[in-house]
A and B are shown apart, each in its own frame.
Chain A
Amino acid sequence: MNTAQTTRACETCPAHNVANLVKLGINLEGTDYVVALAGNPNTGKSTVFNALTGLRQHTGNWPGKTVTRAEGAFSYSDKRYKLVDLPGTYSLLSTSTDEEVARNFILFGQPDVTVIVVDATRLERNLNLALQVLEITDRAIVCLNLIDEAQRLGIAVAERTLAKDLGVPVVPTAARRGIGIQDLLHTIHDVATGAVIPKPKRIVKHAPQLEKAIGSLAESLQSKFPGLTNARWVALRLLEGDDRIISAVRTGEITSILSLTELPRETVGEGVLE
Chain B
Amino acid sequence: MNAISNDDILLKAGNLRWEVGENLHDSLMESLYTEASRIADRVVTRSGAPGRFNWDRALDKLLTGRWTGFPIMILLLMVVFWLTIAGSNVPSSLLASLLLDTVHPVLRSLGESLSMPWWLSGFLFDGVYLATAWVVSVMLPPMAIFFPLFTLLEDFGYLPRVAFNLDHLFRKAGAHGKQALSMSMGYGCNAAGIISTRIIDSPRERLIAIITNNFSLCNGRWPTQILVATLFIGALAPPALSGFLSASAVVAVALFGIALTFLTSWFLSRTVLKGEASTFSLELPPYRPPQVLKTLYTSLIDRTILVLWRAVMFAVPAGAVIWLISNIHVGELSIAEYAINWLNPFGLLIGLNGVILLAYIIAIPANEIVIPTILMLTVASTGVSGYGEGAGVLFELEDNLQYLSVFQAGGWTLLTAVNLMLFSLIHNPCSTTIYTIYKETGSVKWTLVSSLMPIAMGLSLCFLVAQVWRLATAGG
A residues sitting closer than 8 Å to B (CB atoms) are: 41-42, 56, 58-65, 67-68, 95-98, 121, 123-125, 127-128, 130-132, 149, 153-159, 161-162, 165-166, 176, 203-205, 207, 209-210, 213, 216-217, 220-221, 223-224, 235-236, 238-241, 246, 249-252, 265-273
Contacts and interface: CB of A to CB of B under 8 A. Distances in A.
Given A56-B301, A60-B159, A97 B198 contact: yes
Interface string B7-50: 11110110011011000110010011101110110111111110
Majority DSSP secondary structure for residues of B touching A: helix
Given A60-B155, A61-B157, A166-B39, A235 B13 contact: yes
A241 B17 CA distance: 8
B16 A267 contact: no
Contacts of B13: 217, 235, 238-239, 246
Contacts of B65: none
A271 B302 contact: no
Nearest to A130: B36
A155 B46 contact: yes
Contact of B445 (A128, A241, A269): A269
B7 A63 contact: no
A5 B6 CA distance: 58
Interface of B: 1-2, 4, 6-10, 12-13, 16-17, 19-20, 24-25, 28, 31-33, 35-37, 39-40, 42-49, 52, 151, 154-157, 159-160, 163, 178, 181, 195-196, 198-201, 203-204, 206-207, 210, 272-273, 282-283, 285-288, 291, 298, 301-302, 440-443, 445-447
Contacts of A41: 283
8 contacts: A56-B301, A60-B151, A125-B36, A155-B48, A156-B45, A209-B19, A213-B16, A216-B12
B160 A56 contact: no
A249 B10 contact: yes
Contacts of A131: 32, 35-36
Contacts of B286: 121, 149
Contacts of A204: 28, 31-32, 35
A63 B43 contact: no
Nearest to A204: B31
Contacts, number: 194
A42 B52 CA distance: 25
Contacts of B16: 213, 216-217, 239
Contact of A62 (B31, B181, B206): B181
Contacts of B282: 63
A246 to B, nearest CB: 6
B207 A158 contact: no
Which of A130, A240, A269, A273 gathers the greatest number of chain B CB atoms within 10 Å? A269
A224 B269 CA distance: 46
A198 to B, nearest CB: 16
A269 B288 contact: no
B301 A62 contact: no
A226 B287 CA distance: 49
Contacts of B4: 220, 223-224
Which of A64, A209, A221, A246 gathers the greatest number of chain B CB atoms within 10 Å? A64
A223 B302 CA distance: 50
B47 A154 contact: yes
A131 B35 CA distance: 9
B42 A246 contact: no
Given A61-B155, A124-B36, 16 more contacts: A63-B282, A124-B40, A127-B35, A127-B36, A131-B36, A213-B16, A216-B16, A220-B9, A223-B2, A223-B4, A235-B13, A240-B25, A252-B6, A266-B198, A268-B206, A269-B445
Nearest to B161: A62
Contacts of B2: 223-224
A268 B6 contact: no
